[in-house]
Structure 1
Amino acid sequence: MGCCVSKKAKLKANQVSRWRSTGIVALRDAKLKTFPDEVLDLEKSVRTLDLTNNKLVEIPLDISKLINMQRLALADNLIEQLPVNLGKLQSLKVMTLDGNQISSLPDELGQLVRLEQLSILGNMLTSLPETIGSLRNLVLLNVSSNKLKSLPESIGSCFSLEELQANDNLIEDLPASVCNLIHLKSLSLNNNNISQIPTNLLKDCKALQNISLHSNPISMDQFQQMEGFQEFEARRKKKFDKQIDSNVMISSKGLDEGVDL
């Protein structure tokens, strides 16, 4: 028995040593029900933490010790809320929270000023905090498959945003500030309740190449009459032609990308 305990302890010690030297903690599919203390003890050593597909219900306040962490993957757990001191993870660039039971995000989310990718699809969000507008380096935001009725006006301050996915929600309209997203390339809003979009969207979002609005009460005629539609079409076609020239395999669904209504 003592031999087995000693062997397990040695394996654990080797694992922790490896985490410390690489900065990568990978514990996918480990059947964890609680956050591992040995990870928290690594503090500044952790650069990437992957706890995908476990049974975690909560994230401890002490996660704030991992101040050098750049990537945090917590998808497919049972998490209901995030700790308020999440904002202390000032080095965080990528955070994945898909497939949990999160109903709200803390205002402190806005403190993650280096965040570039945030994915929280398949949760129970009813709103996003206004502080999300402080995420000036955010390039990708995926909030699909939640219960959102709107997006905050502050979304227009996410000036680096290139891709916004908000499919399968209850969104009725978009804030006018979306027109400030001059780097936005792709906007996906399938399966919502949107009957109109901001009139200047196509005119002001000069990088926009793809808009997907399947299963919304908005007509193609409305869309085509918007100012800037011709320029948008030219960008969409240029991208599509480039894909063809590059011999990219495009599915039948892909042929529709650009304007999906």
Structure 2
Amino acid sequence: MGCCTSKNVDSEAGRVARWRSTGIVALRDSKLKAFPDEVLDLESSVRTLDLTRNKLVEVPVEISKLINLQRLILAENIIERLPMNLGKLQSLKVMILDGNRVSALPDELGQLVKLERLSISGNSLIGLPETIGSLRNLVLLNVSNNKIKHLPESIGCCFSLEEIQANENSIEELPSSVCNLVHLKSLCLDNNSVKQIPPNLLKECKSLQNISLHGNPISMEYFQQMDGFQEFEGRRKRKFDKQIDSNVMIGSKGLDEGVDL
């Protein structure tokens, strides 16, 4: 028994030493119900933390000790809320919370000014905080499969946004500020209740190549009458021509992925 105990201690010490040297903590499918203290004790050493597919109910306030954390992956747990001091993770670039039970994001989300990718699909969100507009480096926003009724006007201040995925929600219309997103390439709003989009969207969003609106009460004729439709069509066709020239496989939607209704 003494030998086994010694080996377990050595194994644990070795694991912590590896985490400290690599900065990567990966504990997927480990049946965890709480954040391990030995991980939180590593503090500034942790850069990536992946606790996918565990049984975590909450994120502890002590997570703020991980001041150099860049990637936080907590998908497929049973987390219901996030701590307000989450905003102290000033180095965070990627946060993935897909498949949890989060119903609201704290206002402090806006303090994560380096955040580039935020994915929180398959939760219970009914909205997003106005402070999301402070995320000027955000490139991807995925809030699909929630209960969101509208996107905040401040989203137009996320100037780096290239992709918005908001499928399977209850969105009826988009804020006019979306027209400010000059780098936006893809807008996916399948299975919502969208009746109209800002009239200048196609004209102002000069990088837009893909709009997907399956399962919404809106028609192709609506788009064809919008200012900038022909320019938009040109961009999305060039995108697919380039993919074909590069021998990139195209899915079953094929060349209809421009305005996909």
Q: TM-score, normalised by structure 1?
A: 0.99
State yes or no: 1:232 paired with 2:232: yes
1:145-185: per-residue Cα shift (whole Å, max 9, x none)?
00000000000000000000000000000000000000000
CA distance in structure 2 between the partners assigned to 1:254 and 1:3 by the alignment? 62
Give the counterpart letter for 1:169 in structure 2. N
Give the counterpart letter for 2:195 in structure 1. S
Q: CA deviation at 1:217?
A: 0.2
CA distance in structure 2 between the partners assigned to 1:257 and 1:224 by the alignment? 15
Give the match for residue 182 of structure 1: 182
Give the counterpart letter for 1:12 in structure 2. E
Give the match for residue 68 of structure 1: 68
CA distance in structure 2 between the partners assigned to 1:256 and 1:73 by the alignment? 33
Give the match for residue 144 of structure 1: 144
Structure 1 stretches lacking a partner, 5+ long: none
CA distance in structure 1 between the partners assigned to 2:256 and 2:141 by the alignment? 22
Q: CA deviation at 1:18?
A: 0.2
CA distance in structure 2 between the partners assigned to 1:62 and 1:34 by the alignment? 12
Give the counterpart letter for 1:226 in structure 2. M
Give the counterpart letter for 1:117 in structure 2. R
Q: Which region of structure 1 is more displaced relative to structure 2, 4-13 or 42-51?
A: 4-13
Give the counterpart letter for 2:167 in structure 1. N
CA distance in structure 1 between the partners assigned to 2:81 and 2:45 by the alignment? 25
Give the match for residue 221 of structure 2: 221
List structure 1 segments (4+ residues) > 3 angstroms apart after TM superposition: none
Identity %: 78
Give the counterpart letter for 2:79 in structure 1. I
Give the match for residue 92 of structure 2: 92
Give the match for residue 83 of structure 1: 83
Q: CA deviation at 1:258?
A: 1.2
RMSD: 0.6
Give the match for residue 50 of structure 1: 50
Give the match for residue 191 of structure 1: 191
Give the counterpart letter for 1:237 in structure 2. K
Q: CA deviation at 1:252?
A: 1.5
Tell me, yes or no, if the aligned pair for 2:237 and 2:255 is still in contact at 8 Å.
Answer: no
Give the counterpart letter for 2:251 in structure 1. S
CA distance in structure 2 between the partners assigned to 1:158 and 1:29 by the alignment? 34
1:102-131: per-residue Cα shift (whole Å, max 9, x none)?
000000000000000000000000010000
Give the counterpart letter for 1:178 in structure 2. V
Aligned length: 261
Look up the SS of the partner of 1:237 in the other structure: helix
Look up the SS of the partner of 1:13 in the other structure: helix
Q: TM-score, normalised by structure 2?
A: 0.99
Structure 2 stretches lacking a partner, 5+ long: none
CA distance in structure 1 between the partners assigned to 2:209 and 2:251 by the alignment? 18
CA distance in structure 2 between the partners assigned to 1:256 and 1:5 by the alignment? 62
